[in-house]
Structure 1
Amino acid sequence: MTYRAAQEEYINSLKAARPASCFLHLSLTAASFKATDPKRHLSEHHITSHLAVLRDTLVTMALAETLLLPVRAVQALFAIIVLGLLVDVTTNWYATSEVNFLIFASVWTLLAVAYLVIAPLTFATAAHKYAVLVAESLTMLFWFAGFIALADLLGKVGCTSRQGKWCGESIAGTVFAAFEWLLFLGTTALAALHVWRTRGGSSEPAHAMKVQPTPYQGA
């Protein structure tokens, strides 16, 4: 594969996926190719790896900008709701470990959602597919453990919405936490599917490519 063919292949895929930002990525791609391969000596393997990394970044950014943004907004909203409900519970009742854990999960989720939204859009190298999968998986597990633990506690004390404000808020917090877990279960599955589909690609960032040395031609 030649330099020109590789660049044209990437440009065509870029136009099809993200026409609005094509010129920005086109200039960055051309500059990257020139910086890493000033004499066009990259092998076919290195060019293919370079394109794989660029396409992987492109897919991540496209998902973040279109398909997942509404889901991220709902995830952040549910985290805020649970946080507000359970902070009020600790004020009017007392802070159990189950309630405190879901408060922690809410704060963690706000930070995780900020990373999952901002990193692919502005710091593409920080949004590595494995880092995204770890963030999604941890958050999903936090919510699963949290809502199960609080539901178990409320069942043991016989809590119902008629037993006071704190009980009603605890039940509502548990319900929202369960829905939050379902949301992150879905986005974790998408992240895992993306890792599976791109498992053959290079994990190195584009700037880590090395130029093949030119064979010695003799005097």
Structure 2
Amino acid sequence: MAVTMAENKMLNYALRALQLIFAIIVMGTGGYAIHVYRGYSSIIHTPDGDFYGYAGVPNAWGFLIFCAAWTVLVVILLIAGNAFADRALIGYIRIAVEVVAVLSWFAGWIAVAVNIGTEACSEGYSSCGALKAAAVFGAVEWLLFMVTATLAFSLFLNSKRQLRTSTT
């Protein structure tokens, strides 16, 4: 059953479309959270003098936006790679891209989820709701990439078992 699901092009296109839609949602909600976030400043007293420090947007929020932008490129690459699916090198590249996408989305939504409830996203900030939505859609995106990576890996393993005959 897993082989027929992996070979089903409509399922693959539907999952890729969902990945693309959720990446756009993450870009929108994460971008909004970054836009409305107001950092905080503090005066740090040291023996050498006072230091005025400003804490801006946490890096994890920008990394989640990077994951979403990178996903758009990945989905285009993986859909375009279907034309060359019989090449062994394309199979290796497809598996590598899927693994990197799975790991980056996992790291991205975990890093953003850790920021929820800290000074960066406390109850007083209006960006906290958008950030929570971005973290939830990031987790769903990670699950979608887990499904497509599993399907791509099973398809890759099954295609390696079949002997390829030369047409010449």
Q: How far apart are residue 109 of structure 1 and its match?
A: 0.3
Kindly indicate which of the two structures has a greater share of residues assigned to strand. 2
Secondary structure (helix, strand or coil) at the match of 2:161 reads coil
Structure possessing the higher radius of gyration over alpha carbons:
1
Q: How far apart are residue 201 of structure 1 and its match?
A: 4.8
Instruction: Point out which structure has higher relative CO (alpha carbons under 8 A, 6+ apart).
Output: 2
Aligned partner of 1:89 among 4, 18, 33:
33
Aligned partner of 2:143 among 166, 182, 192:
182
Instruction: Give the percent of matched residue pairs that are identical in Structure 1 and Structure 2.
Output: 33
User: Which residue number corresponds to residue 116 of structure 1?
Assistant: 78
- Report the aligned-residue RMSD: 2.7
Q: How far apart are residue 91 of structure 1 and its match?
A: 1.5
Secondary structure (helix, strand or coil) at the match of 1:103 reads helix
Aligned partner of 1:107 among 61, 65, 69:
69
Cα deviations by residue, 1:165-184 (Å, 9 ceiling, x for unpaired): 31111000000000000000
Structure 1 pair 115–142 and aligned structure 2 pair: CA distance change class (3 A): same
Amino acid at match of 1:108: W
Contact 1:89 / 1:95 at 8 angstroms: preserved in 2?
no
Kindly indicate which of the two structures has a greater share of residues assigned to helix. 1
Contact 1:119 / 1:127 at 8 angstroms: preserved in 2?
no
Q: TM-score normalized by structure 1? A: 0.58
Amino acid at match of 2:10: T
User: Which residue number corresponds to residue 194 of structure 1?
Assistant: 155
Structure 1 pair 96–158 and aligned structure 2 pair: CA distance change class (3 A): closer
Aligned partner of 1:73 among 1, 13, 17:
17
Worse-superposed segment, 91-100 or 190-199: 190-199
Secondary structure (helix, strand or coil) at the match of 2:116 reads helix
Contact 2:121 / 2:127 at 8 angstroms: preserved in 1?
no
- Uncovered stretches (5+) of structure 2, i.e. residues with no partner: 1-5, 38-55
Count of residue correspondences: 145
